């Protein structure tokens, strides 16, 4: 069966510090991978998505970046965090038809 791992679950980082969130998928190959951010009580904002290794599409221009160094690995990064980067970050995978998406546990990031 397929599983998705995302870590860490919670993170407190000072303004200006770097960020690296990692997500890995098991039990499937060539998945579509997604990074979303969710503010408290709000919807899911699509940040980045990828249909293959090295293929990254960005939805929101900001100080975040994403990479997909391996088929089932998706990394969200920042060189210098801003206060506005605080939120609940969710990684998800879906099949190539996007019929259903499965989410990692999420990372609750607080920038202080």
Given the rule CB under 8 A, which residues bind other proteins?
A: 32, 34, 36, 42-44, 46, 49, 51, 57, 59, 90, 92, 94, 96-106
C-beta closer to other proteins: residue 16 or 98: 98
C-beta closer to other proteins: residue 67 or 103: 103
State residue 80 phi and psi, 5-degree precision: -145, 110
CB of 81 to other proteins, least distance (A): 22
Residues across the chain: 112
CB of 100 to other proteins, least distance (A): 5
C-beta closer to other proteins: residue 17 or 110: 110
| Angle, vertex CA 70, rays to CA 25 and CA 7, nearest 5 | 45
């Amino acid at each position: 069966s397929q599983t998705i791992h995302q870590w860490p679950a919670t993170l407190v980082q000072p303004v200006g510090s770097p960020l690296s969130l990692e997500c890995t998928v098991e039990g499937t190959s060539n998945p579509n991978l997604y990074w979303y951010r969710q503010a408290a009580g709000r919807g899911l904002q699509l940040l980045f998505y990828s249909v293959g290794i090295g293929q990254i599409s960005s939805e929101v221009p900001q100080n975040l970046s994403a990479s997909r160094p391996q088929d089932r690995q998706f990394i969200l990064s920042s060189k210098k965090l801003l206060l506005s980067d605080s939120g609940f970050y969710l990684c998800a995978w879906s099949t190539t038809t996007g019929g259903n998406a499965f989410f990692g546990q999420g990372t609750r990031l607080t920038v202080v």
